[in-house]
Amino acid sequence: MKSPVIHPRDLIAGLQKGLALMQLFSVETPRLTVPDAARRCDMTSSATRRFLLTLVHEGFAETDGRHYWLTAKALRIGQAYVDSAQLPLMLRPIVEQVARITGEHISVGVRDGDDIVHIVRSRYSHISSLSIRPGARMPLYCTASGRIWLANLSPEALDQYLQRTELRSLTPYTQTNAEQFREELQRINQQGYCTVDGEYEVGMRVLGVPLRDRKGELKAAMALTTHASRMAIDEMRQRYLTPLYEAQALLKPVLG
């Protein structure tokens, strides 16, 4: 489906700023003062204070007079996507089927800016990981699903991504060399799958494949996650690529 052309005059600046303000809250910044939020949003302190007080009034935030933080009501926004979006509903049966066949955890991620966001995960899981919970956001560069999206970019778009993104070492195994990273993306593009071994979380091995529609457009990425203690990367490929490819084929007409 093509996105409509939206003219700037049709946009509501207040809504844009309010949404941007809500997205400032994270694990790193669970509470914010007005000056902190104003600086991060590039707004005046007076405007930021009014936006935050509006969130408090509507029940999306609370304050102690100095700091502000989100309330559980903010979950309604994300839950509305889970409940109403068609893509997770279409993916769910296949995700559960692959999980049953492999006995491993299966998730599907989509790109959101420079992050990968999981929109579906299998109910079955023998692993405990914060990175695979629904709604979890992770960097594109050190995750299997994220690298699949990066491997799909044009050379110009990839250059722009690497210019604005620091390849930080999240674990001792994270790939941080830009040239080696480019070579890895080329391999992913050629072989049609991606493996990541402990680059985001030590002890987690991930095997991912792209999910494309009938026109060949990348719509999502499916990833299988297991503990490093269960099997080596080569064994993962041998055992699990076939069921992942079968799911890929089943989902192609579903994705359009």
Check: CB of residue 86 under 8 Å from CB of residue 112: no
Asked which of 50, 74, 98 is the last residue of a domain, the reply is 74
Q: Do 126 and 244 reside in the same domain of the chain?
A: yes
Closest CA to 197 of 151, 221, 165, 229: 229
Structural tokens at position 220:
């999502």
Evaluate if pTM is beyond 0.85: no
Neighbour-count burial of 107, counting CB atoms closer than 10 A to its CB (0-12 exposed, 13-18 middle, 19+ buried):
buried
In the chain, how many domains are there? 2
Residue by residue, pLDDT tens for the chain (256 residues) are 456 788 888 888 888 888 889 989 988 899 999 999 999 988 999 999 999 999 999 999 999 999 999 999 987 887 777 666 777 888 899 999 999 999 999 999 999 999 999 888 888 666 655 555 656 789 999 999 999 999 999 999 999 999 999 999 999 999 999 999 999 999 999 999 999 999 999 999 999 999 999 999 999 999 999 999 999 999 999 999 999 999 999 999 888 7
Kindly report the CATH number assigned to the domain that includes residue 183. 3.30.450.40
Q: Do 241 and 172 reside in the same domain of the chain?
A: yes
Residue 79 lies in a domain: no
The domain containing residue 50 runs over which residues?
8-74
The b/e string for 204-226 (b: 16+ C-beta within 10 A; e otherwise) is bbbbbbbbbeeeeebbbbbbbbb
